[in-house]
Chain A
Amino acid sequence: MPPLQLMLEGDADVVVTRQFKAPPENVYRAHLEPELICQWMASWPGWTMPVCETDSREGGAFRFEFDGGEEGAFTTTGEYITLTPSSLIVHVERMHMPDPAPDSHCHTTFEASETGTLLTLRMSLPDAETRQGMMDMGIADGMELSYSKLDEIAS
């Protein structure tokens, strides 16, 4: 299985899967604990997360602020719906650019696998039209391109 896959499912879902070498407990924690999140979620060189707050309880809120200096800044906020330790995170989130975008519903599972953990992130966009818009705008192409590059790098 390639390290990362992106699939479209149903009308409005985008599913990303990724294998990790670490056990599910650790991958799960790295999604909830601010001091771990801030080390990996600000993806791009030069970007930081000046604000990374999580109230990791069901019903609790989180706030991630990303700062890219000259490149810009944006904020993601959300709420946790279901938290099953080492196994499942269900949350809603929205980007603020700065106006809030519609909520995406995110369902992340952490399953023990032969190599460590299989992470499956299912993003449910507000409706089929939103996802179609994303795809038609070429986001899917851009992602697939990057993922195939990743395959080359990782293989």
Chain B
Amino acid sequence: MVMDESVNPRLDRLFSALADSTRRSILMKLTNGDEGVMELAAPFDMSQPAISRHIKVLEAAGLVTRHRQGTHRMCRLAPDALGEIEPWLDIIADRYRSNYNRLDAVLETMKPSQQGDD
């Protein structure tokens, strides 16, 4: 099986879904538990169809699932929704760690006596 991490349509959908502040806000709310579509739409200055479109994008990205509870349409954070993003988060974290470790090595090569022009 070819595992080319750079070609990953699911990750593409995931990151484009997350690249929108409204959709991130919706996800934040859902981390506290299931919410109805109406309740999710309430804080936004946006029509309910517009919110529904955002929810569909989140659903397509595998971040949110929808179900019915009586007459209410409910949204739920998909189990392990953000699990796939963790390797990417590690990259962000590693950036600081390895950057500064490398900077240590660069600084080693800069003799204090060579400050300024040399």
Which of chain B's residues 59-98 have a Cβ closer than 8 Å to chain A? 82, 85-86, 89-98
Closest A residue by C-beta to B98: A43
A6 to B94, CA, bound (A): 13
Q: How far is the CB of B58 from chain A (nearest CB, A)?
A: 13
CB within 8 Å for A25 and B100 given contacts A70-B6, A129-B25, A133-B28: no
User: Are A147 and B110 in contact, with the CB atoms below 8 A?
Assistant: no
Assess the A72–B6 pair: CB atoms within 8 A: yes
In the assembled complex, the CB of A114 is this many whole angstroms from the nearest CB of chain B, namely 16
A143 CA / B91 CA spacing, docked (Å): 9
Q: Contact between B19 and A150 (Cβ–Cβ < 8 Å)?
A: no
List the A residue with the shortest CB-CB distance to B110.
A26
Count contacts between A and B, CB distance < 8 Å.
Answer: 108
Docked complex Cα distance between A44 and B103 (Å): 13
Q: How large is the interface on A (under 10, 10 to 19, 20 to 34, 35 or more residues)?
A: 35 or more
> A83: CB under 8 A from chain B?
no
Whole-angstrom distance between the alpha carbons of A145 and B33 in the complex? 26
Q: Contact check, A25 vs B89: say whether CB atoms are below 8 A apart.
A: no
A16 near B96 with CB under 8 A, answer yes
In the bound complex, do residue A143 and residue B96 qualify as a contact, i.e. CB atoms below 8 Å apart? yes
- Are the C-beta atoms of B110 and A70 separated by less than 8 Å? no
Size bracket, chain B contacts: 35 or more
| Chain B contact residues: helix, strand, loop or mixed | helix
Q: Decide if B112 touches A20 in the complex (CB within 8 Å).
A: no
> What A residues does B89 contact at CB under 8 A?
137-139, 141-142
Once bound together, how far apart are the Cα atoms of A39 and B107, in whole Å? 10
Contact of A132 with B28 in the complex, beta carbons under 8 Å? yes
Determine if B102 is an interface residue (Cβ-Cβ < 8 Å): yes
Is B104 a contact of A137 with CB atoms below 8 Å?
no
Chain A residues within 8 Å of B25, by CB: 129, 133
Q: Does B57 contact A (CB under 8 A)?
A: no
Give the 6 A-B CB pairs with smallest separation, nearest first.
A142-B89, A146-B93, A22-B107, A40-B102, A40-B103, A143-B93
